[in-house]
Chains A and B, each alone.
Chain A
Amino acid sequence: MTTMDLDRAWDLHPQVSVRPEPFGALLYHFGTRKLSFLKDRRLLTAVQSLADTPTARAACLASGITEAELPRYGRALAALVQSSMLVGRTS
């Protein structure tokens, strides 16, 4: 299972579009032409706040995800990194 560094800054890839849906959200990457989905509204909030939060951990906690749930949500974020939906942010 892939992992990611929850303690660094992340952002959506600039070619990714996010569309909220009743069950969560759909993500589409215009570069890879791959579709992905978020099955949870809190995960959507976390993903949308990555750009303005210093770390992925902070984005998750601010979105109502508990410490106990972090490993599971961390794996979901790692899958998004794997498919280039999320990229590391340096500024």
Chain B
Amino acid sequence: MDRNRKILIAILAVVAFSAVLAIVDISLTMQERQTMAPSIGIPQVGPGVGVVRIEGPIDFSDSSSPFGMLSGAEAAIKRLDEMSRNPNIRAIVLRINSPGGTVGATQEIYQKLMNLRKRNVVVVASMGEIAASGGYYIASACSRIVANYGTITGSIGVIIMAPNLRQLFDKLGINMAVIKSGKYKDILSSFREMTPEERELIQEIIDSSYQKFVSDVSLGRNLSRDDILPVADGRIMTGNKALECKLVDVIGTFEDAVNEARKLAKLPEDSAVYDEVKSPFQQLLFSMEGMYRGRSAGLLERSFGFGGYNIVQYRYQP
């Protein structure tokens, strides 16, 4: 019996030993694979370039998602803030892929970028598919703007849209009872026609926001208002045309923008790039958030694909 027991203990010892062997084997294989893997030449440590991405409409709405994750303008400002405090970040590349957005959110990002510029932080804008209106507004706050040849940009202007559903409601026999403290309280109401006084009032807001847009672009780009006004009529243009109009500095890709940032910050060519890489878990949360938003969006938002009614916007709105 004792002999059998000893044999069994020996077998268990062999299993334990094989577990140790297997761990060592897996670790060594892993190490070997890492050393054999092709080097990408970009060490992700030390001083480098930080990347901030601005994707989609710029606004503050739903900035904190049901999953507690920041998104939109709030997230961009927070990331810019974190990067400006990180001693390893010597330059920032702002990757813009946006048709613009609300006036307040756009101006807040613009101001944040201008403050960084005043503190001599190098910020380079890289335009993706589209960087129009508010997207261009924030790009104008950067030290350099790099656009692709075919990037849709420009659209310097302000817009507000309000659907007039009066005829539809008349057909359906729906009346809206409105009790208001002043005659402009329900300005831009969808249930009635807009009065000339209201139109004038809204136009004043639009004009004021437009003047601010032009003066901020003029300040950011270091151009005179007269240089900008000829193209500041809401027109969109390609990156190449924008270069001719001095709205951008260089035609190039995202990599070119990163290299430009390195050059301006006097960083070595292989310095690190700190991109906004989301973990698979974060990506899952973001996709779940997208589903949640899709389900909870209003009728107009779902029908027309956006929810930008009754808000003054720096936005390219085809």
> A and B from one assembly?
no
Task: Please give the residue numbers on chain B whose beta carbons come within 8 Å of chain A beta carbons, in ascending order.
Answer: none
Q: Which residues of A does B touch, CB under 8 Å? A: none
